[in-house]
Amino acid sequence: MKQILQHLRTGQIEVADVPCPAVRPGHLLIQTSCTLISSGTERGLVEFGKAGLIAKARSQPDKVKQVLEKIKTDGLMPTLETVFGRLDEPLPLGYCNVGRVVEVGAGVEGFALGDRVASNGAHAEMVCVPTTLAAKVPENVDDESASFTVLGSIALHGVRLLEPTLGERFVVVGLGLVGLMAVQFLRANGCSVLGVDTNAERCRLAETFGCQTASPAEGADPVKAAMAFSQSEGADGVLITASAKTNAIIKQAADMCRKRGRIVLVGVVGLDIQRSDFYEKELSFQVSCSYGPGRYDPTYEQMTRDYPLPYVRWTVARNFEAVLATASSGALDLRPLISKSIAQADAETAYDAVLNDASALGVVMTYPDQPAPTTRAVKLSAVAMTSAPSAPRVGVIGAGNFTKLVLLPAIKAAGGHIQTVVSAGGVTSLHSGRKFEAAEASTDYKEMLASDAVNTVFITTRHNAHAGMAIEALNAGKHVFVEKPLALTAEQLSEVSAAFASTDGLQLMVGFNRRFAPHAVELKKRLGGRSEPIAVQIMANAGDIPADHWIQDPNVGGGRIIGEGCHYIDTAMFLVGSPITTVQAVCFGDGTASITEDKMSINLGFADGSIASIQYWSNGPKTYPKERVEVFSQGRVAVIDNWRKLQSYNWNIPKMKIRMDKGHKNEIAGFLKRIADGGSAMIPYEEIKNVTKASFAAVTSAKERRTIEL
């Protein structure tokens, strides 16, 4: 299928050949008929992409600060590689889509094949969208008009926050697409409206919707116009839909309002607010969030759990429905907002109109009327496969940031042949496949598992899929590399163990990379001649992650100890070289229901009498080094600082100070070599299982306040 992408580093607009997404539970697969370019949001993205590096940095000072902090802790080159890797990614454009449903995901109710649907899908021939971000289009609303649904919901949500009542008077500052629709919604509520815009042509258009106007371009003073409009009483409220850096707009909005007036910001303006302007009139000010309640809530958007109507009357989807119903009734007239209709194949022309044609307002893109392009694999290159049957031919499931920035470069550096990269949406697999010279990009991992062209599978998806995919890959006769964790529950671990036990000659590896870091390898070698137990202390300044992040969900990410803390448990086990026998953990919180898992102290006991203490903290600053490993042994101490430096005290270990190296390259190179040459597993499966069980035990121990024996 064709999809419009923008390359952030260069600003180039591309109509790319992308594999069709697969439908997911709670989602709809839609064949697009038309989309609308958002002249505000998308213009900003395109302008950002076309800007130089210095201009990009100036426009995002907060990001620059984060980069500088990362340089202090991780070093210059790793930081620059991360920054340029992010800039190298293509960005899918668009979020105003109309099309017909061609496939319905499991658990979907209220939608059927053939339904015309408006959604926040991208500028692509096929889109997969959650039902909570979609609404059926009434028969008397044409596709081009329906493509305004999402922008219309932004306008409608802003109007709802104003809480208009019949007979009130409002000012709308900014008469772009959102502003012109807001004017019509306010008029439909029985309100008088004054529109303000520097574009006189848009003011004329607003007047056709029953709105008075004032244009500074024609010499009008917005504040004086508002006072005249309100008969010197002041407006009941102001809706700001403009985009400008000046602070003058918020100042003018305050001056326009009556005492206890309401100001709602939908656009983007300077917010250097003078207290006296708001204090003396007791004005209220609120920023509107996108389409309405549910937006940016993963539970609503990704898990498609709608909010109950009696308690949240207007969610995103119900706002979509209201916009379409208003258009169907004739109270919202959208045809006058369409300036141009351009085919998707001419996307460059469409964006040129948005950027450079001052008269352009609504630019609609149309799509070919043809059978749905449902192909889920796109050929990228004709890379010749090696004739050696044992040589690793790699398929990668998942193309997130870690995969793109760490794993794929390591596979390529080790000489691995990448046959297929798979991602759910297709854009990231396309980009990664191109960059690392894969033979194809795909959205169907099952098809990849069935292919004889792949004998080695890397699984880098969200954690809840790891165990199931590993079992499928092993059953398909593939070598398997699973980025940690291997499993989220004891039941999953047992199922993986059974599947692996039934295989013959396959490698099963988990991404416990730190044991392959040069510092860890050197320290392990120096511990080889010890005659008594050791003590290991590991500090992880893990950083805060929001509570609603997927990794914090025990059913999706497993929580931070199972999902990430297992790294440090494995590092301790590697250095000790003996099985873990006991686990005792404590964490913030007074009881089971309130524990804070990402602030935990874990104590491990080993079969040889050694002990380890892991301090996993999410409440430290990013300016502090992220990791530190200390080993106490027979009157000697060795310290690894943030995987950049190894030094010792009373121990004859040469200092090692290198670029940060957490062992990923050594890990991947060694794994691929094992597949090519054969040999024992790099990490014995019993150790992988022991570490995984210990991570489960740490969480249980903290909740139940007891020591657990493995």
Token pair belonging to 602: 């874990």
- DSSP codes of every residue in 483-495: PSPS-SSHHHHHH
Looking at this protein, which amino acid is placed at residue 52?
A: G
Give the integer Cα–Cα distance in Å for 438 and 299. 34
Domain 153-287 in CATH 3.40.50.720? The answer is: yes
3-state secondary structure of 31: strand
The single-letter DSSP state of residue 158 is H
The bridge status of strand 169-173 relative to strand 235-240 is parallel
Treating both helix axes as pointing N-terminal to C-terminal, what angle do 41-50 and 347-356 enclose, rounded to 10 degrees? 100
Neighbours of 84 (CB within 10 A): 12
Instruction: Quote the tokens at residue 338.
Output: 């369409």
The token pair that represents 207 in the structure block: 């007047």
Q: Residue 322: phi, psi to the nearest 5?
A: -65, -40
The pLDDT value recorded for residue 353 is 85
The Cβ of residue 408 has, within 10 Å, a number of other Cβ atoms equal to 25
d(CA 657, CA 691): 29
- Report which of 44, 147, 156 is spatially closest to residue 96, judged by C-alpha positions: 147
Q: Report the C-alpha gap between 586 and 110 in whole angstroms.
A: 47
Residue pointed to by tokens 């499928």: 472
Instruction: Give residue for tokens 């699984």.
Output: 459
Q: Please name every residue paired with 612 in a beta bridge, in sequence order, or none if there are none.
A: 536, 604
The reported pLDDT for the residue numbered 589 is 75
* Helix pair 490-501, 466-475: axis angle to 10 deg: 10
> Residue 591 contacts by C-beta under 8 Å, 6 or more apart in sequence?
none
Q: How far, in Å, CA of 484 to CA of 501, rounded?
A: 20
Let me know the angle formed at the C-alpha of 64 by 50 and 79, rounded to the nearest 5 degrees: 95
Which parts of 441-517 fold into alpha helices (H)? 445-449, 466-475, 490-501
CA nearest neighbour of 691 among 459, 525, 514, 505: 514
Domain boundaries, the chain: 2-148+296-366, 153-287, 377-508, 514-709
Count of alpha carbons within 13 angstroms of residue 401, beta-carbon side? 7
The reply to whether 2-148+296-366 and 153-287 are identical in fold is no
Which pLDDT score, from 0 to 100, does residue 56 have? 56
Query: Among 148, 99, 121, which Cα is nearest to 319's?
Result: 148
Give every residue of the chain whose pLDDT is below 70, as ranges: 48-60, 63-64, 67, 70, 72-74, 76-78, 80-87, 382-389, 590-595
Q: Can you tell me the distance from the alpha carbon of 87 to that of 289, in angstroms, rounded to the nearest whole number? A: 26
Which SS3 state, helix, strand or coil, does residue 229 take?
helix
Token duo for residue 76: 């210059």
Instruction: Please check whether the domain covering 377-508 is classified as CATH 3.40.630.10.
Output: no
255/238 Cα distance (integer angstroms): 10
pLDDT of residue 330: 96
Q: What is the per-residue pLDDT for 87?
A: 64
Nearest to 285 by CA among 312, 315, 254, 314: 254
Cα-based torsion angle of the residue sequence 179, 181, 184, 185 in order, rounded to the nearest 10 degrees = -100
What's the longest Cα–Cα distance across the chain? 92
Residue 177: strand, helix, or coil: helix
How far apart CA 527 and CA 636 sit, in angstroms, is 11
Query: Does residue 645 contact residue 653 with C-beta atoms inside 8 Å?
Result: no
According to CATH, what is the number of the domain 514-709?
3.30.360.10
Q: Residue 214: what are its φ and ψ, rounded to 5°?
A: -145, 125
Instruction: Look up residue 660 and give its two tokens.
Output: 């940060």
Positions of E strands within 546-610: 580-588, 596-606
Nearest CA-CA partner of 105 in 88, 128, 121? 128
Side-chain half-sphere CA neighbours of 568 within 13 A: 32
CATH fold for the domain made of 2-148+296-366: Quinone Oxidoreductase; Chain A, domain 1 (3.90.180)
Spatial CA neighbour of 176 closest among 366, 45, 36, 316: 36
**How many CA atoms lie less than 13 Å away from 315 in the CB half-sphere?**
21
Tell me how far apart the alpha carbons of residues 133 and 274 are, in angstroms, rounded to a whole number: 38
183 in Cβ contact with 175 (< 8 Å): yes
| Tokens encoding 340 | 């141009």
For residues 235 and 169, give the distance between their C-alpha atoms in angstroms, rounded to a whole number. 5
The rounded distance, in Å, linking the Cα atoms of 576 and 533 is 8
Please say whether the beta carbons of 551 and 559 come within 8 A: yes
Report pLDDT for 386: 54
| pLDDT of the residue at 40 | 75
Cα–Cα distance for residue pair 565/463, rounded to 1 Å: 13
